[in-house]
């Protein structure tokens, strides 16, 4: 663990990512304290540019809502949706990949065709259709994002299991009569966990991007403020009020960038042999 921390902290990009992400997490946590009012309340005159009014560092939007409040509360939504939908995607992809890789043969064929099918469908279009059918809500968005983002997990886990299942310790476990479930989850999975962690951190990033795109199109939960919604709402007044669109976009950019940097840092630290190999 110590060597891992050392490796990780030696990577400047990863440290920068960690600092950026910490800032976002802190803002998300203290959002209700610095902006106790709902981000939907109209608190000032509309179209105030940044810094024009005391305490409104990011200006106000078309309806006079504080953009700073929207940014802080939006951080919560982005992080929660990113995390939860990644977890759900792992819950779908892990068993499918594990079963395919462990049992092989016909199971592998069926499950991988199924996975390929989901990879062929244009994922963003499918996400739109799912949210439109389920009606916009936080759980609908999470479900849609996880349904379109599990296939890479299944493929990765399958690959790991295929190579690990012929190892001696697995053969020994089979011989000693352990049940397949036990072998899959307690013997093989812990050894396949590091690439899964790397993939998961990158998936949180793409889930946040996907959520912002959905709420940009007006498919966000109408009860929660999100960065994508703010950009979508400010789009029509882009010429008059650039700040309404610019700040939420920067927030998304920094958060996703931070997660990508951390993912790469984790990758280098967890797979030291592969590190820097032309990355």
Partner 1 sequence: MQTLRYILMRLAKAAVILFAIVILNFCLIHAAPGDPAAVMAGEAGASDELFLQQLREKFGLDQPFHIQLWKYISGLLQLDMGYSYRQDAPVWDLIMDRLPATLLLTGAAFVLSIVLGVVAGVMAAVRVGKWADTAITVAALLLYATPLFWVALMAILLFSVQLGWFPSYGMESIGSELTGFRYWLDVAHHLVLPATTLGLFFTAIYARMTRASFLETAAEDFVKTARAKGLSEGRIARRHILRNAILPVVTLAGLQAGQIVGGAVLTETVFAWPGIGRLMFDALLQRDYNVLLGVFLISSAMVLLFNLITDLIYLLVDPRIELNT
Residues 6+ positions from 262 with CB-CB distance below 8 Å: 14, 17, 18, 21, 201
262 neighbors 17 (Cβ within 8 angstroms): yes
- Dist CA 73 CA 68 (whole Å): 9
Of 28 and 256, nearer to partner 1 (C-beta) is 256
* Residue from the set 212, 220, 225, 269 that interacts with partner 1 by CB under 8 A: 212
Closest distance of CB 187 from partner 1, Å: 32
Alpha-carbon distance of 217 to 229, in angstroms, equals 8
User: Does 252 help bind partner 1 (rule: CB under 8 A)?
Assistant: yes
Q: How many CB atoms lie within 10 A of CB 77?
A: 24
Q: Can residue 29 be called a binding residue for partner 1 (CB under 8 A)?
A: no
Q: How many CB atoms lie within 10 A of CB 174?
A: 13
We find the least distance from the C-beta atom of residue 154 to partner 1, in angstroms, to be 15
Phi–psi pair at 175, nearest 5 degrees: -65, -35
Among 228, 233, 268, 269, binds partner 1 (CB under 8 A): 228
Site for partner 1 in 111-150 (CB under 8 A): 116-117, 119-126, 128-130, 132-133, 135
- The neighbouring-strand residues paired with 65 are 42
- Report the site for partner 1 in 4-23 (rule: CB under 8 A): none
Q: Which lies closer to partner 1 via its Cβ, residue 173 or residue 207?
A: 207
- What are φ and ψ of residue 219, in 5° steps? -100, 10
**Position among 69, 77, 256, 262 found at the interface with partner 1 (CB under 8 A):** 256
Query: Is 72 an interacting residue with respect to partner 1 (CB under 8 A)?
Result: no
Total residues interacting with partner 1, rule: CB under 8 A:
42
* Residue 231 in the binding site for partner 1 (CB under 8 A): yes
Does residue 243 touch partner 1 according to CB under 8 A?
A: no
Closest distance between partner 1 and the C-beta of residue 171, in Å? Answer: 30
173 near partner 1 (CB under 8 A)? no
C-alpha triplet 248, 149, 229: angle, nearest 5°: 20
| Cα–Cα distance, 218 to 221 (Å, whole number) | 9
- For the chain, how are helix, strand and coil distributed in percent, rounded to 5? 75, 0, 25
Q: Which of 18, 164, 189, 217 binds partner 1 (CB under 8 A)?
A: 217
Q: Distance of alpha carbon 146 from its chain centroid, rounded?
A: 10
279 touches partner 1 (CB under 8 A): yes
- The residues binding partner 1 (CB under 8 A) are 116-117, 119-126, 128-130, 132-133, 135, 205, 209, 212-213, 216-219, 228, 231, 235, 238-239, 242, 245-246, 249, 252-253, 256-257, 260-261, 277-279
């Amino acid at each position: 663990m110590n060597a891992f921390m050392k490796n990780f902290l030696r990577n400047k990009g990863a440290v920068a990512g960690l600092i950026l992400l910490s800032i976002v997490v802190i803002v998300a946590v203290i959002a209700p304290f610095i902006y106790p009012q709902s981000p939907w309340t109209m608190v000032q005159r509309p179209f105030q540019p940044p810094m024009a009014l005391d305490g409104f560092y990011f200006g106000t939007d078309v309806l006079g809502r504080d953009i700073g409040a929207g940014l802080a509360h939006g951080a919560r939504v982005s992080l929660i949706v990113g995390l939860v939908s990644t977890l759900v995607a792992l819950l779908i992809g892990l068993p499918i990949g594990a079963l395919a890789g462990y049992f092989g043969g016909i199971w592998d064929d069926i499950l991988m065709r199924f996975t390929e099918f989901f990879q062929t469908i244009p994922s963003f279009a499918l996400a739109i259709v799912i949210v439109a059918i389920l009606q916009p809500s936080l759980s609908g968005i999470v479900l849609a994002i996880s349904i379109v983002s599990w296939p890479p997990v299944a493929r990765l886990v399958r690959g790991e299991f295929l190579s690990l299942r012929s190892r001696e310790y697995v053969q020994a476990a089979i011989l000693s009569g352990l049940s397949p479930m036990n072998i899959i989850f307690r013997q093989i999975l812990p050894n396949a966990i590091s690439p899964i962690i790397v993939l998961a951190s990158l998936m949180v990033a793409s889930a946040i991007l996907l959520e912002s795109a959905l709420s940009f199109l007006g498919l966000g939960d109408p009860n929660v403020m999100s960065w994508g919604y703010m950009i979508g709402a400010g789009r029509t007044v882009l010429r008059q009020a650039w700040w309404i669109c610019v700040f939420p976009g920067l927030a998304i950019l920094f958060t996703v960038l931070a997660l990508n940097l951390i993912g790469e840092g984790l990758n280098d630290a967890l797979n030291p042999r592969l590190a820097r190999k032309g990355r």
